[in-house]
Structure 1
Amino acid sequence: MSGTGTGAGTPVTGDLVGLEVGPVAHGGHCVARLDGRVVFVRHALPGEQVVARLTEAGPQDRFWRADAVEVVRAAPDRVAPRCAVAGPADGRGRGCGGCDWQHVSTAGQRTLLADVVREQLARLARIERPDLVVEPVAGDADGLGWRTRVRFAVDAEGRPGLRAHRSHTVVPVEHCPIAHPEVDAVGVGTRLWPGVAAVEVVAGGTSRDGTAAAERLVVVEPVAPPKAPRPAGPA
């Protein structure tokens, strides 16, 4: 499908283009092509037809990046994200870069991850593993609640959250669905953290059935003080 930029000539960053999505790639992307140029597309699935917004599209770039913002033909494994801030930035506080595959069923996520690992093994190590599978991590709940270590960034207003993909922008997050319950129980996202740059929470020694004692480590990183001006040199 050819590009459909908003202006005449070569598409540029910010333009909307139509793409036929190809195979999965490392880093939460799928591969598409636009007039012969490789485009790495987030929020898409292999086999889909999408309208994507170009996010990095310089004329001299070897490849471009894009976010799928409209699905014209969906893949069977596409589902509604289970996180309110997952998906491309659209002006409504979305765009969190913490998850790559919230728009994919749990079984589909594991299939995609296995495809990526098999491709990397074959390309980098010349090892063929057609039987490779990705298994659930210990304690996950259908793909959620498994992450035992989360680092929350804090913006200038003291609001905690996670950064947008390839950005320093902090997307406010009150509850992270993939965080372990003991991480979520700290409630980092439910309060302001003035004067703080980041809050990291680590949970350990806890089972879901409550048979082990809860252990949590919370590390608060203060905002670095401004650097003192360098003394003037000799006249």
Structure 2
Amino acid sequence: MEKTNNNPTPFLGRLKHKSVADCIGATPLVRLNHLPTALGIKAQVFPNLEYLNPGGSVKDRIVKPSSGNTGIAIALMAAIKGYKCIITLSEKMSLEKEQILKVLGARVIRTPAGVSIDSPDSIISVAKPHEYETAEELWYQTEGHIDSFISAGGTGGTVNEVLDQYGPDLWIKTSDADSFNYARRLVREEGILCGGSSGATIAALAQLVKSHRELNVEDKVIVGILADSLRNYLTKFANNGWMAEQGYSVV
């Protein structure tokens, strides 16, 4: 997919919206230029910058059990509509996410870490837009040319929505150390202020092209989801001290 938007007319933004809710979706698809080259990846890699949604993550689109981004999306919509909002958030999630929720006016209840999804203490919601909205957007943005799609899973809410009708061709397991360091490299080398699961997407990509060499050629297009923003992890993987405490080397 070599064709890109080379229109000399400057993009002046969308027309005015009735509310911030109308700004959810249609997030940018941007080619990575430096990191793939450093990794020996010849394919064209286009991450979808979902952290540019109003609530800062892909979860603006859906309501699902999550690691905190769903809560931000719900709290955002509740603030717009004037609804009372109570969010349950695992104890292992960052303080930044709790603070964002409280600023949006939500009441935050911390839940035990590591509980099963059927536990009375877990978080549960329902929605399914990805098989329609996101898929249509990506198909349009790539002009109908997608050879491979990668989505990292935290608690799995986004992945479940994307793969609801069609099972994955391949599951790839990545380590936290690799994921966090690739996320840091996306920030430093591509200027993309993404969260930790975005690094997992790149870690999976590196494994994918090694095991499936037919994808590692110039005319192949690989699309990935970058789910949320660096802002939620300033005290986590973005912090050198925290990385050292967890025993992760910093590259």
- TM-score bracket for the superposition, by shorter chain length: under 0.3
Larger radius of gyration: 1
Relative contact order (C-alpha < 8 Å, sep 6+): which is higher? 2
- Structure with a larger share of its residues in strand: 1
- Structure with a larger share of its residues in helix: 2
Structure 1 length as normaliser, TM-score?
Answer: 0.28
